[in-house]
């Protein structure tokens, strides 16, 4: 397969949005179970709402997080509360990706302990490695250096998550 370009490509100038709304599709599996569907994610500094929907637009699960904790509601009406979203997000995304790092990863940026291992011809990250996760960016939404990624492949051990971003709206 195409090997990502070496690191020496100059880094593109890529502002990081503190808040955003992401609409896309995800497929995830951790070797045992699998999850797939449409994803809507509203992110602000002090809160998140992840919603997974079926092709028919019916909500399968919705997880909301704020400073006080996290609440997961599922289609059958059940509710699960937890101190933080990390305990519940795997039930929504299908893998236990870290809540604190996902906002950077979906913008093709490493967390504080991560690093960009390779860049594409436009200087945008092609591969990020962070806290044991491998995050690949095979496709961006447009050709310009600051474009958001269109497809993200996340993996660690058996856990795999593929995300297609159909709409990306940074918060004002």
Strand order in the sheet with 34-44: 79-82, 69-74, 59-66, 47-53, 34-44, 20-29, 159-170, 149-156, 133-140, 125-130, 115-119
Cβ atoms within 10 Å, residue 130: 22
Helices (H), the chain: 89-93, 102-105
Chain contacts with other proteins (rule: CB under 8 A): 25-27, 29, 33-34, 36, 53-60, 62, 73, 75-77, 151, 162, 164, 166
In whole angstroms, the minimum distance from the beta carbon of 48 to other proteins comes to 14
In whole angstroms, the minimum distance from the beta carbon of 88 to other proteins comes to 16
In whole angstroms, the minimum distance from the beta carbon of 42 to other proteins comes to 9
Nearest to 21 by CA among 40, 47, 34, 3: 40
Pick between residue 57 and residue 112 the one whose CB is nearest to other proteins. 57
Pick between residue 9 and residue 29 the one whose CB is nearest to other proteins. 29
Pick between residue 9 and residue 91 the one whose CB is nearest to other proteins. 91
Pick between residue 9 and residue 21 the one whose CB is nearest to other proteins. 21
């Amino acid at each position: 397969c195409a090997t990502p370009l070496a690191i020496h490509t100059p880094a593109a100038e890529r502002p990081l949005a503190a808040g955003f709304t992401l609409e896309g599709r995800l497929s995830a599996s951790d070797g045992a179970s699998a999850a797939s569907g449409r994803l809507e994610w509203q992110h602000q500094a002090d809160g998140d709402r992840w919603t997974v929907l079926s092709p028919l637009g019916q909500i399968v699960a919705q997880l909301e997080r704020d400073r006080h904790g996290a609440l997961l509601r599922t289609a059958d009406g059940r509710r699960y509360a937890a101190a933080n979203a990390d305990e519940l997000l795997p039930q929504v995304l299908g893998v236990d990706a870290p809540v604190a790092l996902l906002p950077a990863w979906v913008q093709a940026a490493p967390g504080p302990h991560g690093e960009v291992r390779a860049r594409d011809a436009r200087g945008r990250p092609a591969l990020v490695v962070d806290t044991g996760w491998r995050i690949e960016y095979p496709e961006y939404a447009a050709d310009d250096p600051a474009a958001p990624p269109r497809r993200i492949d996340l993996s660690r051990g058996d856990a795999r998550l593929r995300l297609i971003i159909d709409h990306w709206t940074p918060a004002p």
